[in-house]
Amino acid sequence: MNNENNRGQWASNLGFLMAAVGSAVGLGNIWGFPYKMGANGGFAFLIVYLVLVIFVGFATMLGELALGRKTGLGVIGTYRMLNKKFAWVGWLGFLSGFFILSFYSVLGGYTLRYAIGFLMELFSEGAGFGGMGSGEFFGSFIINGGANLLFHGIFMALTIVIVMGGIASGIEKFTKIAMPALLVMLVIVIIRSVTLEGASTGIAFMFAPNFSAFSEIGFMKVLKTAAGQMFFSLSLGMGCMITYGSYLSKQENLEKNALIIPIADTIFALMAGLAVMPAVGAFMSQGVEGISFGAGPGLLFVTLHQVFSVGMGGFIGNLFGFVFYFLVFIAAITSSISLLEVCTAFFIDSKVQKGQVANRKKITIIVGLVIFLIGIPVGLDGLGSGVAGGATIDIPAVVFGMDEVRVAFDCWLDFYDMISEGVFMPLGAILMSVLIGWVLKTNIVKEEVEASDGIKMKAYAFWDFCFKFIVPIGILFVLLGQLDDFFGLGIF
Ligand code: PFF
């Protein structure tokens, strides 16, 4: 609609794809996917995951891209323009971006700290991690508020610098270099990982089909885990793809792009699994102390640190440690720029709509600074390890002032995650599919796809069915699953 204004536009479809896949591929792929797949039935989990990508992921992706390109606006502007009653849904997305980025940036800071640590170890032993063991270093790092804020600050500053550059000359230019580099580094780590003695233990943990996991863990629980993972991993539900879609030229094929992004994201997730799990399995089976298929922060920052520093050890260990954490850092920053862009776009749109010239640099710096400030409690509470006075957050007491259902969060990261990933994102996505499938009708997506010269929508009936039924029901499931996880409701 208004790509001729000063909002910016992708220079090429390939550039757009690099940015969109960069957004999708992040900590979720490297940190979450390998463990979740291994612990929830391996290959059996993968089948469930793929079914969800096909029936929920593709359509949600197409819906977001189409709405964004149609309006040429960010998430708030898009909902506001399409339907006044749905305007608040845009705010859900905007706020999700705010909260996710505020903790994502702290974690991104960790990856940077670890990459620098291994780099320094290459030159002088003990320079990077002070001669400490993996668990000891991690424990001391997360309670070091000053260091956390420093790296959170650096990570946020780098994110700001890229977004300040604009769409084609900032985000696209960066991701066009970063994504191929990420791929190359990942392949290098995979080759090292799968050729280690005992790697097959890890490959078996991740890939061996274990259909009995469905009855042991419960099929619904597996489904819930897969759905939540897919959603976060594809950057869906908070208008990120609406925003990126708004910078796409009318000439590009939306239907094709909506298939490519989830496929690439899934391939990256599987590759990340091949980089991580065989190495963990190898050293576990060789009996190296402190290595097991754990989850959460422990896997990425303790187990893998142990893999590189003790398992591989020496120069090679430090070298691969550096390459690995640097690639995780790159994956994280290509996601964080998309989160910041969601927030920045709103203020740029507001200016443009008033007919004024938007100062992208100024807006990006201010928004980024505010997000940095919101992330400070996350950086200071040591992931709930007891600094800053324990940092237990009692939700009913804080938010509702009531006492009956007490949910205490151990740390600010969980609290922010609950608000964004737990509630706002799934709710936003359900409402988007209802808006498309029932209020505006799927034709709106068809029209936008066919707005490109000579392009005909190929699978209208499929998309229509997805928007009307599968996506809302599928995501309702994510929402219930998230609430169940965060509040321990015991639904599943
Ligand atoms: N997809 C990213 C990951 O897997 O780490 C996280 C993310 C980025 C979520 C952007 C949402 C978003 F809008």
Report the predicted TM-score, pTM, of the whole model to 2 decimal places: 0.93
The CA distance from 332 to 3, in Å, is 28
The CA distance from 68 to 248, in Å, is 9
Evaluate if residue 3 carries a pLDDT over 80.
no
Q: How remote is the CA of residue 42 from the centroid of ligand 1, in Å?
A: 23
Residue 25, SS3 per DSSP = coil
- C-alpha distances out from residue 378 to 27, 46, 98, 409, 432, Å: 17, 32, 13, 12, 30
Task: Express each pLDDT in 401-443 by its tens digit.
Answer: 555 555 667 788 888 988 898 889 999 999 999 999 999 999 9
The CA distance from 314 to 317, in Å, is 5
- Does an H or E element contain 394, and which? strand 393-394
| 384 Cβ contact partners less than 8 Å away, ≥ 6 residues apart | 391, 392, 409, 410, 411, 413, 414
The whole-number pLDDT of residue 385 equals: 66
Q: How remote is the CA of residue 235 from the centroid of ligand 1, in Å?
A: 4
Structure token pair of residue 104: 């994502």
Task: Answer yes or no: are the C-beta atoms of 322 and 128 closer than 8 Å.
Answer: no
Residue 438 DSSP symbol: I
Average pLDDT over residues 448-475: 95
- Least confident stretch, 75-79, 103-107, 242-246, 473-477: 473-477
Ligand 1 atom closest to Cα of 234?
1
Residue 129 DSSP symbol: T
Q: What sign for the dihedral angle of Cα 99, 40, 301, 384?
A: positive
pLDDT band at 1 (very low <50, low <70, confident <90, very high): very low
Q: How remote is the CA of residue 440 from the centroid of ligand 1, in Å?
A: 27
> Ligand 1 test: best mutation among 240, 343, 371, most atoms within 8 Å of CB?
240
Burial class (CB in 10 A: 0-12, 13-18, 19+), 284: buried
Q: Whose CA is nearest to atom 11 of ligand 1?
A: 235
Residues with CB under 6 A from ligand 1: 23-24, 26-29, 100, 232-233, 235, 238, 240, 335, 338-339
The whole-number pLDDT of residue 397 equals: 56
Q: How remote is the CA of residue 24 from the centroid of ligand 1, in Å?
A: 5
Task: Answer yes or no: are the C-beta atoms of 75 and 342 closer than 8 Å.
Answer: yes
Average pLDDT over residues 160-175: 98
Average pLDDT over residues 50-54: 96
Share of the chain above pLDDT 70, in %: 93
- Least confident stretch, 52-56, 138-142, 355-359, 413-417: 413-417
Q: How remote is the CA of residue 206 from the centroid of ligand 1, in Å?
A: 22
The fold for domain 3-382+414-487 equals Hydantoin permease (1.10.4160)
Evaluate if residue 306 carries a pLDDT over 60.
yes
The residue to which tokens 């929508």 are assigned: 457
* Beta-carbon count within 10 A of 261 CB: 26
- Does an H or E element contain 477, and which? helix 471-487
Evaluate if residue 34 carries a pLDDT over 80.
yes
Residue 409 DSSP symbol: E
**In the chain, where are the structural domains located?**
3-382+414-487
The residue to which tokens 């009956």 are assigned: 404
pLDDT band at 260 (very low <50, low <70, confident <90, very high): very high
- Least confident stretch, 48-52, 140-144, 185-189, 432-436: 140-144
Burial class (CB in 10 A: 0-12, 13-18, 19+), 483: middle
Ligand 1 atom closest to Cα of 335?
8
Burial class (CB in 10 A: 0-12, 13-18, 19+), 458: exposed
Task: Enumerate the β-bridge partners of residue 408.
Answer: 394
Task: Answer yes or no: are the C-beta atoms of 18 and 257 closer than 8 Å.
Answer: no
The CA distance from 478 to 221, in Å, is 10
| 332 Cβ contact partners less than 8 Å away, ≥ 6 residues apart | 26, 27, 104, 107, 108, 111, 155
The CA distance from 153 to 371, in Å, is 10
Share of the chain above pLDDT 90, in %: 78
Structure token pair of residue 194: 């799968």
Numbers of helices and strands, H then E, in the chain: 25, 2
Ligand 1 atom closest to Cα of 31?
5
> How many C-alpha atoms does 121 have within 13 Å on its Cβ side?
27
Q: What sign for the dihedral angle of Cα 185, 191, 194, 198?
A: negative
Task: Answer yes or no: are the C-beta atoms of 233 and 239 closer than 8 Å.
Answer: no
The whole-number pLDDT of residue 270 equals: 96
Q: How remote is the CA of residue 295 from the centroid of ligand 1, in Å?
A: 19
| 46 Cβ contact partners less than 8 Å away, ≥ 6 residues apart | 37, 207, 270
* Beta-carbon count within 10 A of 390 CB: 12
* R_g over Cα of the chain: 22
pLDDT band at 489 (very low <50, low <70, confident <90, very high): confident
Q: Whose CA is nearest to atom 12 of ligand 1?
A: 235
Task: Enumerate the β-bridge partners of residue 393.
Answer: 409
The whole-number pLDDT of residue 407 equals: 60
Structure token pair of residue 5: 């204004």
Q: How remote is the CA of residue 105 from the centroid of ligand 1, in Å?
A: 12
The CA distance from 261 to 268, in Å, is 11
The whole-number pLDDT of residue 390 equals: 44
The whole-number pLDDT of residue 384 equals: 74
Helices (H), 6-86: 13-24, 27, 33-39, 43-52, 58-71, 75-82
| 205 Cβ contact partners less than 8 Å away, ≥ 6 residues apart | 38, 42, 277, 281, 293
Task: Express each pLDDT in 57-72 by its tens digit.
Answer: 999 999 999 999 999 9
Across all residues in the chain, what is the average pLDDT? 91
Average pLDDT over residues 111-118: 98
The whole-number pLDDT of residue 404 equals: 54
